[in-house]
Amino acid sequence: AILREIKRRYISAPDWLPDAACLGQFLSKEISNIVKNQVLFVYAYHADHLIKFVFDKIIDEIHEGFLVRNATIVNYLTLIGSQNKVSWSQNTLKKWAVKFKTMLRNIGYLNGNYFTKPYIREEAFAFFLLWLFFKTQSIKKSLCHKAFHPLYL
């Protein structure tokens, strides 16, 4: 199951994201964990519809300093489940909410339980910008690309 998830998120990523070889080289460098987490979050966001939905819902409805409660995330998940005729146990929902908040903390979107505007590290920004510029040959198209959406640049 773990290998299938790795393949889905990182090896079979959309072709407009840096490929697995490039990502692997980047992750093997001595770079801070927050940079690696920010880069991996972009892949997870674009590969996992649940992460994308909940993240977008939170970003649309909150502001800096907002207290992000587990119950809020559980409510979003319940909404998704009812819209898609999927049912999860309360235990699963609570675990997912805790792990989601941990992910947000690891990339700089949460300070404790409070939403904060993250500082996107230069290395994470450059990793995507250089790849996108190579693909699009346009700095304007690169800067406006949907790859940057989860980093809200």
Please tell me which residue, 12 or 111, carries the higher pLDDT value: 111
Nearest to 74 by CA among 49, 100, 52: 100
73-86 pLDDT tens trace: 999 899 888 888 88
DSSP secondary structure letter of residue 84: T
Any bridge partners for residue 114, and if so which?
A: 67, 111
pTM as predicted: 0.84
Whole-number Å distance between alpha carbons of 91 and 121: 34
22-49 pLDDT tens trace: 998 999 999 999 999 999 999 989 888 8
Neighbours of 21 (CB within 10 A): 9
Query: What average pLDDT score do residues 12-20 get?
Result: 79
Whole-number Å distance between alpha carbons of 59 and 113: 14
How would you class 17 by CB atoms within 10 Å of its CB: exposed for 0-12, middle for 13-18, buried for 19 or more? buried
59-106 pLDDT tens trace: 777 776 788 899 989 998 998 888 888 888 999 999 999 999 999 999
